[in-house]
Amino acid sequence: MSKSIAIAAFIIIILAGFILLGLDILDIAEDFRLDLPIATINTILISAVAVPVVYYSTKIFIKSGSAVALGLSGAVLAFGFSILLYGWLTDTDLNTRITAYDTGVFFAAVMHSLGAACLLFQRETLISNSTSGRTAVSVIIYLVLLLVISLITWLAHEDIITFIVTPIGANLYTRDIVQGIAFILCFGSALVYMRNYFKTKVDSSFWYSLGLVLFAAGVIFISRGPLESRIAWLGRLSEYAGGIYMLIAALGFYRQIGKDNKNTA
């Protein structure tokens, strides 16, 4: 995919989102409904796409100790796993499924921002010892992410916690705060990677930056309307596109690592 097409798609999705958000603010009713198998589509276009992203990003981290790669792989793993829980826990209540989704969104944003922070403060190499040590670190982080998301989802299922959908004010819920924090973290990370792209001309930073904004925007769009509404489907499209952009970024980082290894051989 060329950068011009990527930028055009990015602008179209973001502008369409602002238009639909404007209609929502103006309280203009939306009668459109598109009833499709959301769980299946999300599994294919989010969770399945996450697999190669995690694979290549993990290989990059093991080879180089790159904090950016670890942040990307951990974030995509967390979100892809939460999408599976949200889509296929059909015997649970909506609070449990929403909790799983928003918990994945939050930890994905945290992992993205950790990678960006390391890049910003020039701590790109997180672990500089053996590859076995890096492998252990990645496995531990991945297991912790999966276990924490699973635990929070189980606590919501047992009605032990309901903090994600707890109202905290007029038309404001805890999940709005969670999503707002996630948006800020992802948008801030996108600025770091775009700054790095202009500084180094590394294409992967360009794709990663756009992917982060699309992911963050998708989370906000989806939460603004019913599941089958225009803005919710636009939000999913934004997340799908963001995932593809992150996959391109991961492949680009992987190729760059291969080139660097050849140059130093």
Residue pair 95/165 in contact (Cβ under 8 Å)? The answer is yes
- Alpha-helical regions (H) of 26-130: 38-42, 48-64, 67-88, 94-120
pLDDT at residue 262, as a whole number:
53
Structural domain includes residue 106: yes
Percentage of the chain beyond pLDDT 70 is 90
> What pLDDT is stored for residue 264 in this prediction?
47
Q: 128 exposed, middle or buried (CB, 10 Å; 0-12, 13-18, 19+)?
A: exposed
Residue 152 counted as domain residue: yes
pLDDT for 162 equals: 74
In a domain? residue 11: no
The SS3 of residue 168 is strand
Question: What pLDDT, on a 0 to 100 scale, did the predictor assign at position 244?
Answer: 97
Question: Is residue 192 scored above 70 in pLDDT?
Answer: yes
Answer yes or no: is 167 within a domain: yes
Specify the number of domains making up the chain.
1
What band does 263 get if pLDDT is binned at 50, 70 and 90?
low
Higher pLDDT, 254 or 227: 254
In a domain, 130, yes or no: yes
Average pLDDT over residues 59-80: 95
- Above pLDDT 90, what percent of the chain? 69
For the stretch 144-171, pLDDT in tens is: 999 999 999 999 999 887 766 666 665 6
In a domain, 17, yes or no: no
**Confidence at residue 172, expressed as pLDDT on a 0 to 100 scale:** 65
Reported confidence tier of residue 265, pLDDT bands at 50, 70, 90? very low
What is the pLDDT at residue 123?
79
159 is a domain residue: yes
pTM: 0.92
Classify residue 185 by burial, with Cβ atoms within 10 Å: 0-12, 13-18, 19+: buried
pLDDT at position 83 over 60:
yes
Most confident of 4-8, 157-161, 184-188: 184-188
pLDDT value at 189 more than 70 = yes
Listed in sequence order, the residues at least 6 apart from 77 whose beta carbon sits closer than 8 Å to its beta carbon are: 50, 54, 142, 145, 146
Whether residue 14 lies inside any domain: the answer is no
Residue 219: CATH number of its domain: 1.20.1070
**Per-residue pLDDT reduced to its tens digit, 27-49:** 676 677 888 899 999 999 999 99
Which structure tokens are listed for 151? 């635990």
Phi, psi of 216, rounded to the nearest 5 degrees: -60, -45
Token pair 């990059």 is found at: 60
pLDDT at 74: 98
**For residues 41-55, b (16+ Cβ closer than 10 Å) or e, as one string?**
ebbebbbebbeebbe
Domain that holds residue 172: 37-264
